[in-house]
Amino acid sequence: MLLGLIPPIGLEIPCSSYAVNVPLKIEPLGVVTLDFKGGWKVRVEKNFEGGLGGVWLKFLHMEFDADSEMFGRVTISQDEDAADPLSPLQVVRQLPPTFSNTLQVSIKLTIEKPPGGGPPLVLAGKNLFTQLNDRLTVFPPQGAVYQLQHPVEFTPVGQPDEVRAQLLQFPATVSHNP
């Protein structure tokens, strides 16, 4: 393993992030684009066995906000009630050092002013929010872009077949925020 380049077990790593022109499909209106700012914090849990090595990361917190004239504040946040899998940070090449990081976490979507009015709408993510950067040269990242690996569908709690929104992309620029 690349000693000194892989964060040690127990280290908590906060990162800030932003994603612009994010397409969010909201029923019945269609696709709107929003600019999100926020970040996340992970903790290094244990060593990754196999390949060239690495570590497993556990999400401690994640939240992104966007302001919209039509919807007020739109928030994507970690569903802290979910039991999420750990996220791998793997060494994929020793020289030059290159890492692959897959971030995976359960999320919820809150729309302050939902279509049709009423109180804020909170929707549960039907699948994991999974982002990947497989060309990192350092970790924690500095200005690295992570891409959403598949759209995330959102449904009312207890109504998993009623998709009310869909996060189509989330190109997030991520930097360590000590």
For residue range 73-96, list pLDDT tens digits in order.
999 999 998 999 999 999 999 889
Residue type, 138: V
Instruction: Report which of 107, 110, 113, 144 is spatially closest to residue 126, judged by C-alpha positions.
Output: 107
- Identify the band that residue 51 occupies on the pLDDT scale cut at 50, 70 and 90: confident
Summarised one tens digit per residue, pLDDT across range 92-122 is 998 899 999 999 999 999 999 998 899 999 9
Tell me the C-alpha distance between 43 and 50, whole Å: 20
Question: What pLDDT does residue 99 have?
Answer: 95
Q: Mean pLDDT throughout 118-130?
A: 96
Q: Is the dihedral of CA 27, 31, 33, 36 positive or negative?
A: positive
Question: What pLDDT does residue 2 have?
Answer: 56
- Structure tokens given for 170: 């989330």
The SS3 assignment for 24 reads strand
Q: Pairing between strand 54-68 and 72-78? A: antiparallel
Question: Is residue 1's pLDDT more than 70?
Answer: no
Question: What pLDDT does residue 35 have?
Answer: 98
Instruction: Report which of 34, 169, 17 is spatially closest to residue 112, judged by C-alpha positions.
Output: 34
What is the chain's mean pLDDT, rounded? Answer: 94
Alpha helices in the chain (DSSP H): none
Question: Is residue 28's pLDDT more than 60?
Answer: yes
Under DSSP, the state recorded for 4 is T
Residue 159 has phi, psi (to 5 degrees) of -130, 65
Q: How far is CA 160 from the centre of its chain?
A: 21
Q: What angle do CA 98, 102, 104 make, to 5 degrees?
A: 165
- Structure tokens given for 11: 């280290």
Question: What pLDDT does residue 50 have?
Answer: 82
* Under 8 Å between Cβ of 168 and 152: no
Q: Mean pLDDT throughout 122-142?
A: 96
